[in-house]
Structures are given as C-alpha cells and as structure tokens.
C-alpha cells in the first residue's frame, strides 16, 4: 500500500510517500510528507486507511439516501429502517455529527410518510 520514492523538486532530492489505493483497478497516488519517526509513519498509514474507509461508508450512505428519496410508496417504508441504521452508524463512528444524523433521519421520515399517504 505504501512505497517510498525518490523525487526531485527544484533540484532538491527528497523522499516522498506514495499511497496507492488497492481497491481500484488503476491505483490513484496521493503524496504524503515524509514522517521522521516510526510511530508517525504508522499513524500516517492508519490515517490513510481510516480516511478511505470513512469515505466509503459516507458515500454508500449518501447513495442509499438518494435512492430512498427516489422511491415512492410502500417500498420507501421498507427501506427507511435500513437507511436510518446506516446514518446511525456514521454518527457512531464519528464520520458525521449526531445532530446531522438526527436531522437527516427526520427529513427522510417526513418524506417517507408523505409518500405513503399519496
């Protein structure tokens, strides 16, 4: 996932960490400054993993919310608990604030109840 590469910028040679995303067929590279301590290097690696994971959870939940808004009728009522659960997990993991989670769930519930009434 990480490899060290020697690069030169303005005739100065420096070590730079390149982060590769292994989940994509074509790896995207992200530059990270060189850490000086062993523990700091580990922290950089862990932060990169967490960032990728959090982006995945957030994007998946946003897609589920979008799909729930598009659905009408009885199907929306069945999907609401699943989406609400996803939102709660985001708040629990600290990806979004708990008040934002409450606001999202409230808006979705209103939208679903209006869709059921029609």
Instruction: Please give the Cα distance from 55 to 51 (Å, whole number).
Output: 6
**Which of 15-24, 28-37, 82-91, 101-110 has the lowest average pLDDT?**
15-24
Torsion of CA 72, 86, 20, 24, to 10 degrees: -30
Q: Using only the alpha carbons of the chain, give its radius of gyration.
A: 21
More confidently predicted of 77 and 55: 55
Residue 45 has pLDDT above 80, yes or no: yes
Three-state DSSP at 15 gives: strand
* pTM exceeding the 0.75 threshold for the entire prediction: no
Residue 117 has pLDDT above 50, yes or no: yes
Q: What is the pLDDT of residue 35?
A: 79
For residues 91-97, average pLDDT: 96
pLDDT one-digit tens code per residue, 56-83: 999 999 999 999 999 888 888 899 999 9
- Other residues' Cβ atoms within 10 Å of the Cβ of residue 100: 13
């Amino acid at each position: 996932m990480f490899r060290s590469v020697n690069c030169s910028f303005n005739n100065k040679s420096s070590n730079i960490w390149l982060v590769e995303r292994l989940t994509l067929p074509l790896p995207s590279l992200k530059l990270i400054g060189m850490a000086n301590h062993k523990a700091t290097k580990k922290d950089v690696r862990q932060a990169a993993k967490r960032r990728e994971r959090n982006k995945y959870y957030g994007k998946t939940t946003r897609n589920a919310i979008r799909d729930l808004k598009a659905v009408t009728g009885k199907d929306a009522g069945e999907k609401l608990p699943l989406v609400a659960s996803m939102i709660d997990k985001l708040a629990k993991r600290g990806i979004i604030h708990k008040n934002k989670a409450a606001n999202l769930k409230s808006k979705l519930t209103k939208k679903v109840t209006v869709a059921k009434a029609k």
